[in-house]
C-alpha cells in the first residue's frame, strides 16, 4: 500500500517498496538495433559542478516530441544542478535517423550507444512517456550505464495506448496529403481529430517543416513507421521483476489527472525499482508543460547531491 501526502507544495518523496536484494545483471548484450548517431542539444551550466562527461543528465521526450520540447526545463536543471543536460531526439523523431524498427529495446540501444560515443559516466536519465519507458528499459538491461532515472508519467507495464494516438496519426497523414502551405491550414484539419486541446494540436504540429526548395510543409516524423509501432509503444519489454531489477535510485513522477500510473501499479514499480520514490503532481499526462515549476522542484530535490 502506498502512502501519499496531498500537500500544496511538491508532494513528498515516497520511499519505494523494498524487496530482498536481487541484483540486476551488470551487463546485457545489445541487439545491435541502434540507428546512427542521435541528434541532441547540449545545455551547459554557467557554473559546472562536474565536466560534461561525468554525471550528465539525458532528457528523453515522448511520442511525437523532440529535443526542443524540453528546452526550458533542461536549461533550468543545468542551472540549478550545475550539470550538463543532453536533450535527445530519439529515433524517428526530430532530426535523428529514421528506422523501420521502433520499440523500447531499440531505443534503449540508441541511448546506450549515445552514452558510449560521448564517453558519459554516471548518467541520470529523465524520460517522459515513451522516453520514460526507454529510460526504464535501459536502466534494467544496462544498469552500469545509469546512475538513476526519472520516469515521468509512465510505468514498467503493458498498457494499450489510447485511441487518440491512432487518430493523431490519421490527422497528420491527412495534413501531409493535403499539401498545406500554412500551419493554420494544418490546424484546421487536425481539429477534426483533436477538437478540445489546442496545446496538443500545437505540440503535434511542431513536427511540421518546409523542406528546402519546396512550398508545402511535411512532417519530420515517419508517420507510417510510427503508426505501425503504436502497439509496441504500449508494451514493456520486461515482464518478470524476479529476473531483473534496477537497484539504484529512481523517481516516478505522475499526474494525478492522468491514468498512466494507477495506484495498483505501484507494487510492480517497487519490484522492478526497489529504491523508487513517488511524486504526485496536480496535472495530466503532459505534466512537465502543465506544472513546470513543481516538476523542476521535484527533480532538483531528487538529484541534488547530498551535503
Please give the chain's pLDDT, 307 residues, in tens.
333 433 333 434 444 433 333 333 333 444 456 678 999 999 999 999 989 999 999 999 999 999 999 999 999 999 999 999 999 999 999 999 999 999 999 999 999 999 999 999 999 999 999 999 999 999 999 999 999 999 999 999 999 887 789 999 999 999 999 999 999 999 999 999 998 888 899 999 999 999 998 999 999 999 999 999 998 999 999 999 999 999 999 999 999 999 999 999 999 999 999 999 999 999 999 999 999 999 999 999 999 987 6
β-strands 208-209, 146-152: how paired?
A: unpaired
CA gap 230, 242 in Å, rounded: 27
Residues with catalytic roles: 129, 285
Q: Do 87 and 53 lie in a common domain?
A: yes
Choosing from 184, 200, 230, the residue where a domain stops is 230
Residue 98 sits in a domain whose CATH number is 3.40.50.1820
Phi, psi of 186 (to 5 degrees): -65, -40
Residue 35 neighbours by CB distance under 10 Å: 18
In whole angstroms, what is the distance from residue 106 CA to residue 134 CA?
Answer: 9
Residue with cell 527533480: 299
User: DSSP state, 161?
Assistant: P
H or E stretch including 299?
helix 292-303
Last residue of a domain, one of 213, 230, 247: 230
Tell me, yes or no, whether 4 lies in a domain: no
Q: At what angle do helices 163-177 and 198-205 cross, to 10 degrees?
A: 60
Instruction: Please indicate, yes or no, whether the overall pTM of this predicted structure exceeds 0.85.
Output: yes
User: Residue 9 domain-assigned?
Assistant: no
Amino acid at each position: 500500500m502506498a502512502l501519499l501526502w496531498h500537500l500544496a507544495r511538491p508532494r513528498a518523496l515516497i520511499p519505494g517498496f523494498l524487496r530482498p536484494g536481487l541484483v540486476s545483471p551488470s551487463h546485457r548484450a545489445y541487439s545491435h538495433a541502434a540507428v546512427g548517431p542521435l541528434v541532441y542539444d547540449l545545455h551547459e551550466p554557467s557554473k559546472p559542478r562536474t565536466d560534461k562527461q561525468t554525471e550528465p543528465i539525458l532528457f528523453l521526450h515522448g511520442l511525437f516530441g523532440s529535443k526542443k520540447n524540453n528546452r526550458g526545463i533542461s536549461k533550468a536543471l543545468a542551472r540549478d544542478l550545475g550539470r550538463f543536460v543532453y536533450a535527445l531526439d530519439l529515433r524517428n523523431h526530430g532530426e535523428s535517423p529514421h528506422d523501420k524498427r521502433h520499440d523500447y529495446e531499440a531505443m534503449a540501444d540508441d541511448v546506450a550507444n549515445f552514452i558510449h560515443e560521448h564517453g558519459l559516466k554516471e548518467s541520470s536519465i529523465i524520460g517522459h512517456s515513451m522516453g520514460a519507458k526507454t529510460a526504464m528499459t535501459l536502466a534494467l538491461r544496462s544498469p552500469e550505464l545509469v546512475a538513476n532515472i526519472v520516469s515521468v508519467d509512465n510505468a514498467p507495464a503493458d498498457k494499450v495506448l489510447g485511441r487518440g494516438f491512432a487518430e493523431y496519426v490519421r490527422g497528420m497523414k491527412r495534413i501531409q496529403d493535403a499539401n498545406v502551405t500554412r500551419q493554420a491550414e494544418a490546424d484546421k484539419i487536425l481539429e477534426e481529430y483533436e477538437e478540445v486541446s489546442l496545446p496538443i494540436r500545437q505540440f503535434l504540429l511542431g513536427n511540421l517543416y518546409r523542406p528546402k526548395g519546396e512550398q508545402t510543409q511535411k512532417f519530420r516524423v515517419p508517420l507510417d513507421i510510427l503508426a505501425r509501432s503504436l502497439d509496441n509503444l504500449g508494451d514493456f519489454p520486461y515482464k518478470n521483476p524476479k529476473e531483473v531489477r534496477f537497484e539504484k535510485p529512481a523517481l516516478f513522477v505522475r499526474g494525478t489527472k492522468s491514468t498512466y500510473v494507477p495506484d495498483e501499479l505501484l507494487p510492480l514499480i517497487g519490484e522492478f525499482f526497489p529504491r523508487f520514490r513517488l511524486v504526485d503532481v496536480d496535472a495530466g499526462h503532459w505534466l512537465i508543460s502543465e506544472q513546470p515549476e513543481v516538476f523542476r522542484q521535484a527533480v532538483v530535490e531528487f538529484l541534488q547531491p547530498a551535503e
